[in-house]
Amino acid sequence: VDSKRTHANIINKVKQECPFEISTLIISHVFWPNLRKEEVNIYKPLQDYLSGEYQTAYSELKRSRTLEWNLNLGFVELDLEFEGRTLSFTVSPVQATIILCFEKSEKCHADTISNTIGLSLSQTRKKLAFWVTNGVLKETSKDMYELEKEVKETQQVVVEEMDSAMVKI
């Protein structure tokens, strides 16, 4: 309850409105076990907002406390549009960041994605496999990925434990 109230107070306090609808869960390290932390980068505008405006507002609200982000945890709800068809995905923040690498270009190399999210190339390939399996991306040559023109029906797929990789059609 306190986490929701704190989040609401922060959203009311920030000067710049977040370009995304977000909800955070603020937990104390005293009461929770160690969570799996993976150093990753998420979608830059969102990461900048969280580490800037949001964190500043939190520091002003809770003067003696600091935030430590676990950017690999949580989930993102995405609606992807393909030629008049919309697919809804609920994925990890890293999976969302990967598909957003294709926002400006229909093709992207795994090295570029790896550098963007801050994971090794082998870890990035495993994460890309989710989008390939669901027919959103295809590998056109070694480590070169491209958006599929026609996306077929997808099924629920679980890629790894912490990636909530559910697909809703």
| pLDDT tens column, 98-119 | 999 999 899 999 999 999 999 9
Per-residue pLDDT of the chain (169 residues; tens, 9 = 90+): 588 888 888 888 786 777 778 888 887 777 777 777 778 888 888 888 888 888 988 888 888 888 888 888 888 898 888 777 788 899 999 999 999 999 989 999 999 999 999 999 999 999 999 999 998 999 999 999 999 887 765 544 444 434 444 433 3
Cα separation, 6 vs 152, whole angstroms: 42
Residue with tokens 């676990």: 70
User: How many alpha carbons fall within 13 Å on the CB side of residue 155?
Assistant: 2
The pLDDT value given to residue 153: 59
Cα separation, 167 vs 169, whole angstroms: 7
Cα separation, 7 vs 57, whole angstroms: 10
pTM for this entry: 0.79
